[in-house]
Structure 1
């Protein structure tokens, strides 16, 4: 399978008081020829305050590995979507936007050869947090929004914040940023310091919504992450396993945020990318046996 066209800047939502939200749509070759493909909706990182669609952060982008394009080459449609940043709106605006992106892909599935039953979510860092929330709060009333068809069949998240209540306490001694720091990324997301607004912090935490019917999860984290502590992924994995949900946890030794390594190499990013694609391929085959391109 090879990559096909990239349709950039498609408007999928226009929240009141905000600029239109856009997504980039990556299509495998042959996506318009009647073949049905699984799809992944990707959400970028950047601490909910920066970042842009179709990026996996400056470090990963700089490696030149092109994980999104690799996923397309593996036979997936990929939609990489905007969401409102914390300077524009506080939580839950971000997850509402992420859900809107999933709904758009499902609504337009026939237009782009997408199998509506094989739509998945993937995100890195803050985007992994949103992917997790999308997967755990689908098709039920949450965040003041009625139940909609925003479900995904599986979730992959790279170094995601998952428990904003405990995130500050889990920080490494050499942490570059801590959730409980004044004006932290998490505080800007919530509009309050997590320690001073535990109810808000819990409401914005994927771990709060874990349930037995959760879709399969793949979590990848570097053990030396100085921005999002590795126990954040371990906490969610433990909760999912305890609930009887399927979860895979990949911990990469000595890898920092965005898969930075002491030697400057790309081994961690390559391992995470390969494992993520393998996870989605297995999910796509399991969801609809015999039809994976």
Structure 2
């Protein structure tokens, strides 16, 4: 007697990301390979979410798994690409993620649902899902998600801050946060919490002032606690899009809580390091990478 075969509904879909085969690794730069377009989650009613993974040469072969950088792109929560670290890095060769991998990290650059697709906390949930998937597949990838540094820029830095401050399984080892909003509750610079057309309102699905509890939940400043992981906050002194007071206020709150934080406000720089030379932008990148090394060694 033969067993009933699965229904068409059961077999028609692609394999679930938890068990799907990984794409082949392609050489990228000497000592670095990259796996592109790996599905990590399929939120109900949404597109599959993917990540790109840069791996150092001996990931999966060394007895010591590689620490992880989880990179979160910017774009006002409305746009952006997972493999874009911002204006000043786009012409680099090798690119920024290959450089981080060459330093011994695995680098996961992740999709998350944008505000035109779903409202907060959806993008934060997506980052949690990515970290869960990376932990599940860590043995075959040769990575250690117990040594994860979240690195984000602009809106991605905001989400990275929230992940660092609130995620517990596994806890995040540290965060590199570039020119990110930290407080959606208070008017700062050009931001007005009563403006229904602001990127923050689109993120929340409502005017921030009208949903104070949700706005507070979406504000890293309100999530600070004494056990917060070390954070490296870098902000242009002349930032015209996200006031540097966001990073200054977050640094002050972390210090008051007794958590470790480093704040660097960069003279002469607008948002996305606009106004700096390539050498100055590389200096910021290199200091950020050194911080990541320091919290994962």
Q: Say whether the fold is shared (TM-score over 0.5).
A: yes
Question: Secondary structure at 1:23's aligned position in 2?
Answer: strand
Query: Paired residue for 2:3?
Result: none
TM-score by length of 1: 0.86
- State the distance in 2 between where 1:239 and 1:106 align: 30
CA contact (8 A) 1:99 1:150 kept: no
Counterpart mapping for 1:93-132 below 5 A = 93-132=122-161
C-alpha deviations, 1:129-154, integer Å up to 9, x for none? Answer: 11111111113xxxxxxxxx242111
Counterpart mapping for 1:229-244 below 5 A = 229-244=243-258
Query: Paired residue for 1:290?
Result: none
Cα deviation for residue 182 of structure 1 reads 4.0
Cα deviation for residue 178 of structure 1 reads 5.8
Question: Given the alignment, which residue of 209, 216, 231 partners 2:223?
Answer: 209
Does residue 224 of structure 1 match 2:244? no
- State the distance in 1 between where 2:88 and 2:79 align: 15
Does residue 42 of structure 1 match 2:67? no
CA contact (8 A) 2:183 2:246 kept: yes
**Which runs of 5 or more residues in structure 1 are unaligned?**
140-148, 286-293
- State the distance in 2 between where 1:215 and 1:15 align: 28
- State the distance in 2 between where 1:98 and 1:223 align: 29
Does residue 67 of structure 1 match 2:120? no
- State the distance in 1 between where 2:266 and 2:173 align: 25
Q: CA distance change for structure 1 residues 225 and 75 in 2, over 3 Å: closer, same or farther?
A: same
Question: Secondary structure at 1:6's aligned position in 2?
Answer: strand
Aligned residue pairs, count: 267
Cα deviation for residue 212 of structure 1 reads 0.4
- State the distance in 2 between where 1:258 and 1:178 align: 21
**Which runs of 5 or more residues in structure 2 are unaligned?**
1-28
- State the distance in 2 between where 1:2 and 1:276 align: 22
Query: Paired residue for 1:271?
Result: 283
Question: Secondary structure at 1:78's aligned position in 2?
Answer: strand
Question: Secondary structure at 2:34's aligned position in 1?
Answer: strand
C-alpha deviations, 1:216-275, integer Å up to 9, x for none? Answer: 1111110111111111011111111110001011110121111001xx622442122011
Query: Paired residue for 2:188?
Result: 170
Question: Secondary structure at 2:90's aligned position in 1?
Answer: helix
- State the distance in 2 between where 1:180 and 1:69 align: 41
Does residue 18 of structure 1 match 2:46? yes
- State the distance in 1 between where 2:136 and 2:121 align: 22
Task: State the Cα RMSD in Å.
Answer: 1.8
* Greater shift in the superposed pair: 30-39 or 7-16: 30-39
CA contact (8 A) 2:66 2:144 kept: yes
- State the distance in 1 between where 2:60 and 2:32 align: 10
Does residue 190 of structure 1 match 2:214? no
Higher radius of gyration, 1 or 2: 2
Cα deviation for residue 60 of structure 1 reads 2.5
C-alpha deviations, 1:70-94, integer Å up to 9, x for none? Answer: 2111110000000000000000001
* Greater shift in the superposed pair: 220-229 or 26-35: 26-35
- State the distance in 2 between where 1:255 and 1:238 align: 21
Q: CA distance change for structure 1 residues 222 and 68 in 2, over 3 Å: closer, same or farther?
A: same
TM-score by length of 2: 0.85
